Amino acid sequence: MSSWLPVPQDSHFPIANLPFGIISTTSNPNPRPAVAIGDYAIDLQAFASAGGFESVPEIQLHLSAFSATSLNKFAALGRPFHRLVRKHLQRILRSDTDIPSLLRDDKARRDLVVIPRSEAINHLPLEIGDYTDFYAGKNHAYNVGVLFRGEENALQPNYSHIPIAYHGRASSVVLSGTSIRRPWGQVLKDGTPAFQPCEKLDFELEMGIFICRENHLGEPIPISMAEDYIFGYVLLNDWSARDIQAWEYVPLGPFTSKNLGTSISPWVVLADTLEQARQPGLPMTNPIFPYLEDDEGATIPIVELEVEIHSK
């Protein structure tokens, strides 16, 4: 599938992706939903106002979601709705679109709707009310465990039996590019606590998952329904002050060492986009309780990620 909009061959945002985000511009400072394609952003508020969704009644019922200042309202409409919107946008943006008059051949409408991403100002895509940091990657958990406990005790006995996580500070989740200040905290120096700036600031390349549905207090979500609650994915950098963490994490877990900031990318890749990337995960090394067993099969989206460090 190709688009009539020019998309660089190495772009992370081809027409097959179309991630969602929140943008503003100098000419219109109001934050509003958009999708990214190549080097452009499609202003969904302008598109909706120009009648871009008139041919899809199911979308027309929820046009207010495209005027919101965050994606929360759009996300809450659920995966079938996200799928419908993405499919409609792909239909309009593809090279062989059957409705060229809606955008491709209408210059006046294009000028309103299609914005160079270099002119778009990104904002946090959703209002984040809660943030849970899961210890989901076994190799990552092992490597971090070696830092604190050595190879013999890298993984705690409970790791292969129960999901390991802690609640982080939602208010310090920031957009990628936001400056992170090196924290001060207590560290153990030659057996004596000292209060000083962090000397072992670490990064963690992770994937953040946004949830699009709620559950009632005291009513857990069955694992068979868990994927229905996923809105989409972002890249996430879980900044960690390792020397502070080593002294403070016993017995209740990290605190100051982890709340200094968590960086996320601005564009949310919808859950449906990664369906074709699903592969079997790591095999379990021991039996697990039925409430953790997924009848659909143990497949997960496999995404290859790399980090390049550029020092100043």
Could you report the average pLDDT of every consecutive run of 10 residues in the chain (312 residues)? 95 97 98 99 98 96 98 97 98 97 96 98 97 90 90 92 92 96 95 96 94 93 93 97 94 92 98 93 87 78 89 78
Tokens, residue 147 = 């830092």
Q: How far apart are CA 230 and CA 207, in angstroms?
A: 13
Q: Was 192 annotated as part of a binding site? A: no
Question: Is residue 310 annotated as a catalytic residue, yes or no?
Answer: no
The sign of the CA dihedral 91, 97, 99, 103 is positive
At residue 297, the pLDDT reads: 60
List the domain boundaries for the chain: 20-123, 132-301
Out of 12, 62, 123, 140, pick the active-site residue: 140
* 238 in a known ligand binding site: yes
Q: Which amino acid is at 207?
A: M
For residue 308, say whether it is annotated as part of any ligand binding site. Answer: no
pLDDT in tens, 99-108: 999 999 999 9
Question: Is 138 annotated among the ligand-binding residues?
Answer: no
- Taking the C-alpha atoms of residue 234 and residue 169, their distance in angstroms, rounded to an integer, is 17
For the segment(s) 20-123, the CATH number from 1.10.287.3610, 2.40.30.10, 3.40.50.1370, 2.30.30.230 is 2.30.30.230
What DSSP string runs through 115-164?
EEGGGPEEE-SS--S--EEE---HHHHHHHHHHHH-STTSS-TTTTTS--
Each residue's pLDDT tens digit, 114-161: 999 999 999 999 999 999 999 888 888 999 899 889 999 999 999 999
Say whether 135 counts as a known binding-site residue.
yes
Q: Would 20-123 and 132-301 be classified into the same CATH topology?
A: no
Say whether 159 counts as a known binding-site residue: no
Contacts of 309 (CB under 8 A, 6+ apart): none
Q: What is the pTM of this model?
A: 0.93
Q: Which residues contact 191 (CB under 8 A, 6 or more apart)?
A: none
pLDDT at 296: 61
Q: Given CATH 3.40.50.12780, say whether it is the number of domain 132-301.
A: no
Length of the chain: 312
